[in-house]
């Protein structure tokens, strides 16, 4: 069965950290760029970060630059999003997405082969 399973969300106080994981089963992530998106209540989905297939190229939304780090372990077939210095405005459901391409090419509305199930991140005091 082909699936993308996310883990690692939760609740944290402002300034705290969380690490999200996105693990694939039934297929390999190795050939594809992976993006993280998030959607807050009442807001449109926004792209957060992307990593290319080799892990050698990454990009970040301005809102998370310097605080979030995307990485991948192709041997474990898993991509991570390390989130530090979290702010209340980071509260959202986070999704990972497997691109149809091996390189990052912006945060698009289509062109992704698989999506994770979503994981809630809540930042609140």
Average pLDDT for consecutive 10-residue bins of the chain (125 residues)? Answer: 92 98 94 97 96 96 98 96 98 97 91 94 97
Alpha-carbon distance 86 to 51, whole Å?
A: 21
d(CA 38, CA 79): 15
Indicate left, alpha or beta for 90 from its phi (over 0: left) and psi (-120 to 50: alpha).
Answer: alpha
pLDDT at 115: 95
Say what the pLDDT of residue 78 is: 97
User: How confident is the model at residue 1, as a pLDDT?
Assistant: 80
* Distance from C-alpha of 77 to C-alpha of 62, rounded to nearest angstrom: 27
pLDDT of residue 96: 97
pLDDT at 109: 84
CA distance 55 to 33: 8
Task: Please report the pLDDT score of residue 7 as a whole number.
Answer: 96
């Amino acid at each position: 069965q082909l699936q993308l399973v996310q883990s690692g969300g939760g609740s944290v106080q402002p300034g705290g950290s969380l690490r999200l994981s996105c693990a694939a089963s039934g297929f390999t992530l190795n050939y594809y760029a992976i993006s993280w998106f998030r959607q807050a209540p009442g807001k449109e989905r926004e792209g957060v970060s992307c990593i290319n297939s080799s892990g050698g190229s990454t990009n970040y939304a301005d809102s998370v630059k310097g605080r979030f780090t995307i990485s991948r372990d192709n041997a474990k077939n898993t991509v991570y999003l390390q989130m530090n210095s979290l702010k209340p405005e980071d509260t959202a459901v986070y999704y990972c997405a497997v691109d149809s391409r091996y390189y990052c090419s912006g945060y698009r509305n289509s062109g992704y082969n698989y999506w994770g199930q979503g994981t809630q991140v809540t930042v609140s005091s």
